[in-house]
Structure 1
Amino acid sequence: YIEKYADELKKRETIYSKHRKAQKRLAEIFRVTKGAERFANTAPSSEVEERYAKYVAEHKELRDEMEELRRKNAVQLNEMRIRLEERETNASELQNSFREFKRSMALSAVDSRTGKKIPSNSIEQYIDRDRQKDDMIREIRTTFIELKNTKDSLEKLIKSREEFSEGLHLMDYEQLKMENSTLMEKLREKRDNLKKSREKQTTTVHILTHVKEKLQYVQTENSELQKKLDKLNINLTEYKDMLTRIKKERDMLKKQNMEMREKEPLVGTDSLLLDYQSRKDELDMLKDQVME
C-alpha cells in the first residue's frame, strides 16, 4: 500500500506539472494580447480562440483528474490508516508478550556467582528502562519521518513555486492591479475623511477658544456686577435702618402731637384762635370801660 500511495503521489505531481504547463500557455496567450483589457476589447482570431478553448478543456480535464485522484487517495489513506492501527495493535501485543517473556526468563534466572535469583524489583526497573528506551526510539523515528516528509514537501513546494513564478499569467497581475487601485481609492477616501475631520476639529477648537474667552469676560463682568450689587445691598441696608429710625421718630412726634392736642385743643386751629383773641380783646375793652 505504501508503494501504491507513492505511485499515486507521482501521478498527482505529473498532473500538477501538466496544470502548470497549461497556465504557462495561458500566460503566453495573455502576453500576446498585451493585457486582459485589450484582450477583452479586441476581437481575437480563430486560432487564438481554438487554442484558448483547447487549454480550457485541458485545464478542466486536469482538474477532474486531480479531483478523482484526490478521492482515490482519500480512500486509500483511510484503508492504510485502518491497516496501520491493526499493525500497531499487533506490534503492541507482540512487544508486551516479549516483555512478559523477558520478565519470566529473568524471574527464573539464577546469578552464577551467588546462586540466588534476581530480585523482582531489579527486574521491574530493567523492564521500565527498556520500555522507556522503546518509547524514545519510537518518538525519534516518528520525528525523523515527519521531518523527512516536511523536507520533501518543502523542496517540492519551492520547485513548484519556481516553475509557477515563470508562468505567472497577466490576468493575475491585472487583478492585483485592480485590487491595488481599489485599495488606493479607499486610502484616498480615508485621507479625505481624515482631512475633513482635522479641519472640523480645528474649527471646533477655535470655537471653543472663543467661547472660553467670552466666558472669562462674562465671568469678570459678572464679578464686577456682583461687587456693585453687594455695595447696593449694603446701602439698601443702611437706608432701611435709616427709614426705620425716621419712622420711629415720626411715630414719636405723632404721639407727642396727639398728646399736645389733647392738652391744648386750640393749638393748630386758626379760626378758634382768632375767635379766642377777639373775645379776649373785647373782654379787656369791657373791663377798661367798667374801671372808668
Structure 2
Amino acid sequence: MAAADEPAATAPAAAEDAAAAWSLEERAARRDAAAAAADADASPLAEVSVVTAVGTLRVDNAALYMPVERGEQVTSANLAIAAARADLEAADPAVVVDVGFEERVGYVSGGALAGDPALGQLWYGTRPLSEANEAAVVDVMLVYGSGAAFAIEGGYTTVRLPSAVEDLYKATLYLGVKRGGEGRRWAEGRATRGAAPIKGEDGGDAGEEDEALLEQTLTPEQVARLEARRAEKLREAERQQQREDDAREDARRSKQLQERLAELRREKALLAEENARLSAEVAAVMDAPDADDKERLDPREAERRYADALSAILDAKRKAAQQKERSDRVAFELQARLDEKEFKAKKIADSFKAFKREIFLAAEHSRTGKKLSKKVIDEFEAQEALRDQELEKVRLKNINLRNALKKCEAKLRAKEQLAEGLHLIDFEQLKIENQALAEKIEDRKDEIEKLRKKHAANVRVATHARETLAFEEKLCEKRRGELKALDAKLAVERDRVAKLKKRREKKRMREASRSESKGFAANDMLVLDYEKRKVEITQTEARIQELKERYALLEADVAKNNVLIAARTVGE
C-alpha cells in the first residue's frame, strides 16, 4: 500500500515544498486576496501606471507587497503599480479590460518598467463600460516573491514580470490582475469544494474511508501519505472547477460573437438593399433625357461613367476613412499622453503638497520651540490655494492677451504690405531690388568669410614662425654654451701643451748637457727612456693637431649660426 501511494504523494509534496519557500509578502498577498474574494468588487479601473522610486512606495488604488528591508534602503530603486478608478457618474466611461507586458493594437502604455522602454513596458487596454461587462479590471497588485512557483488566487490572475526587469530590480516580481466577479466565483467555488464530500477510489466517501484508516494502527509515514492524497484530490477538484469555469466563459464569449455576427449580417443585408435601391435611382437618372438636348447617351457609356463616378466616390470615402482613422489614432495618442501628463502632474502636485504639509508639521518656532497648530497650517494651505487660483487666472489672461497681440501684429503687417501709396508694380520692383541687394550681401559675406579664413591661416603661419624662431634661439644659446665650454677646455689644453713644451725643452737641455758630459749610446736605460719620451711627444703632437681641427670646426659652426641669427633678425 505504501508503494502505491508514493507517486500520488509526489505532486503534493512538491507543492508543499514550494509553499514552504514562499516569502512573507507572498503569503500576505494570498491571505488578503482570499479574505477579500467574497467582498463586493470596487469600481473598475480607468488607467494603470508604473511608479519607480527609492525607498518606501505609496500607491493609489493598488496593493503592493514589498519587503520592509527594500523600503529602508536608499541605494536601490523599487517598482510599484498605481491605478486610477473610473468615474461611474460619467456617461459610459472607459475602463481597463486587460493588463500585460506585450504591446497590442489600441493598448495604452502605462510607463516603462525599468526606466528604459526597451526593457519592457506596462500596457493596458480599455473599453467602454457598457461593452466591458465583467471583463473590467477592478484591482491590481504587485508582489515581491522568493522565486518559487507562486499564484495569488482569490480571483487574481498571476503574471510574472519579464526577466530583464527582474534582473534590474534583483527580485522576483508578480503582477496580479483581478476582473469583476472573479473573486466571488472563486469564493463560491471554494465554498462548494469545501462542502462537497470527496469520493474515494471505490466510489465511497473519502472522509469515511480516511476515518476508517485512521482508526487502524498506522505509522506516521502512512498518515502523511494519506493527507497528501487528500490534498491532491482537493487540488484536482479545484482544477476541475476551474476548467468548468473556463468552459462557461468560452461559451459566453462564443454566444456574444455569434450575436455580433448575426447583427453584422443583418446590417450587410440592409446595406445591400440600400445599394440596390440607389443603383436603380442612378440608372433612372442616367436614362432620363437631358433638359438642354434630347439626345440620350449610349447605355454602355452611361454605365462606364457611372462606374467611374462610383469608384471615385468610393476612393474618396476610403481616403476620408483612412484620414479619419489616422486623425482618431493621433487624437487618441495625444489624449493618452495628455492624460498621462495630467496624472503625473497631479501626482507630483499632491506629493509636493504632502511634503510641504510634513514640513509644516515638523516646523518649530525659533524662540519658543512650539510647533505650528493645525489651524495655522490650514490657513497657510488655504492662502496658497487662493494664490494658485489667482495665478491660474493670470496665466489664462496672459494667454488671451498674447493671442490678441499676435492678431493685432498680423493685422498691422497686412496693412503695411502695400502702405504709403505703393502700387503692385512698385512693390514687385522693390522685391527684385531687395533680392539683388540680398545677393550682394551674400557675396560680401562670402568674401568676408574668405578673408577671415586667410587671416586665420596667416596667423597660424606667423605663430609657427615665432615658435620656430624661439626654438632656434634656444638651440643657438645651447651651442654658445657648448662653444664656451670647448674654449675653456681648449685653453686648459693649450696651457698643458705649453707646460709640456717647457718640460720638453728642459729635458732636452738636460739631455744635451748629459750627452755632452757622457754619451748614452752605451747606456740601455737612457736609450729606452729616450724612445719612450719620443713616443709620448708624438702622441702629444697628434692630440694637439686633433684639438686644433675640432676648434676649427667649432669656429665654423659658430660663424654659420651667427650668420643665420643675423639673417632672421634682419627678416623680422
- The TM-score, its normalising length taken from structure 2, stands at 0.17
Bigger relative CO (Cα 8 Å, ≥ 6 apart)? 1
Name whichever structure is richer in helix by fraction: 1
- The TM-score, its normalising length taken from structure 1, stands at 0.31
Q: Which has the larger radius of gyration?
A: 1
Name whichever structure is richer in strand by fraction: 2
